[in-house]
Structure formats: C-alpha cells, structure tokens
Structure 1
Amino acid sequence: MRRSYGVYHYWWNGSAVENRAITAANQVIGVPTVVRTTGNRLNVFVRAHPSNTSYTANSLLHMTSIGGTNSWAVAGVGQQAITDFPSAVVDNAGETRVYARSETGELLEARYHSGGWNWSTISTVG
C-alpha cells in the first residue's frame, strides 16, 4: 500500500496491471471519489493535503482524464476549504455535483455548469 498521499491511476493493459501517479506526493488526503461523464471521461475529486503548496490547503481538487490512461488534468475547485472527504454524482442533465462539509460544518455543493464551478450551501449547522 502506498503512503505518499498522492492519487494513482491503475489499469489493465490486457496482460498486466499498470499504474501512474496523477498527483505528486503529499498533495491530497483521504479517499477520492470518482464519477464518469460523457466520453468515458473519469473525474476524480479529493481534498488537498494541508501541507499542499500547489493548491489551497483542504480545498477540493478535481482530476480529469483526457484521452486515455496517461493524460490527466489537475485543478482546484475554487478556494473553499472542506473538512470531510467529497462525494460526487452526475445528474440526469449531465452536470457534475460534488458535496463536502465546510470548515464551519455546512454541507456544500460545487456544481459544474456552463464551463465553471459554482459553490452553494445546501444546509447550515444548528
């Protein structure tokens, strides 16, 4: 088991399992969530590691497969800090929605719509 706090992609090449790092070591923490969108594109969401210097600590990171096993794009989804590990779905309209808990305990939704991410509060604490 790897303990580098990175995200790895494993796949079967027809005769053996191969793998490649999607992120560098110490960039993420927790269990990622994965959804498939149009064109068999994989979308991975995970929380940025508190010591991550490339993205805001504890923010939501989005990794997208681009044309096969060796091409991935990694980007932050805004500056919103999260405390739990994200969950994601693709709705009937094909929009990706990601859910996570904020630092103040609110349930947040990040929705990808018209080429951009929008954050909203789904429920408040108390």
Structure 2
Amino acid sequence: WNVVIDCTASDAVLKAMGNFAWVTERLFVSLSMTWEAKGMFAYSASETGFPAIDAMERFMAVSVPPATQRVGDMEGIGCWHPVFPAAADDVNLWGAIGSKFVRSAILNPQKLASLFVQQEDGSVDRSDA
C-alpha cells in the first residue's frame, strides 16, 4: 500500500508502526480525536518508516488534557462505539475534516501535524504543531 492510515489513537499502534520495516517510502497519516471529540490531532509524513516519536511528541506539545473529574474509565472499544463520550455530529465532523486532511496529504505529501479544535459556535480552529 502507498498510503497507511491510522485512526486508533493508540500510542502502542504508533510505536508498532514505527518499528515495522516498511522498506519503501509510504505516506503515513494518523488521526486521533480528543476526549469528548472536542478536537482532532492529524499527522502526516511521507517516509520509509513511520516517525512515531515525532508524531507523539507533537501531539503532546499541543494537547490539552481533559479535566480529571470528567474523565472516567473508558468503556467500549473506541471513538465510534456508542458509549464514547461524544455526540455523533462531532464524530462526523472529524470524519469529514479527517478525510480532507488525508486527501490533502496525498496531493501534497509532507510532514505535517495539526490540531483541529471545535469552538462553542461550531467553527473549527486549526493550529499546526
């Protein structure tokens, strides 16, 4: 495959992708929703191996940890599961923005990390990490 897309939001998966011997250059894209789907971190790189450390460091540099009292034990198996604490329209929003990010990464391959955050009025701010 020429494009590898990760949507697991799992550091273990990112590390495994980083350790895998891909041999040839590929476009890697990683998309991760934040808690309660308030935002989405998007990362792309066109390399012969997935730069897991760079992706995780950039995410940590821009991520805002959720208030501890609002974070409970994670039930279910991911952001698409009905018990994930997010509204369906927010998950759909990040799906749409994520697909645009993937398309843009395919058309213009480069190392890029962005944090998208939805505001109270529904608008979305983007900042590069």
TM-score range, shorter chain: 0.3 to 0.5
Larger RCO of the pair (alpha carbons < 8 Å, separation 6+): 2
Question: TM-score, structure 1 length as denominator?
Answer: 0.33
Question: TM-score, structure 2 length as denominator?
Answer: 0.33
Q: Give the structure with the higher percent helix.
A: 2
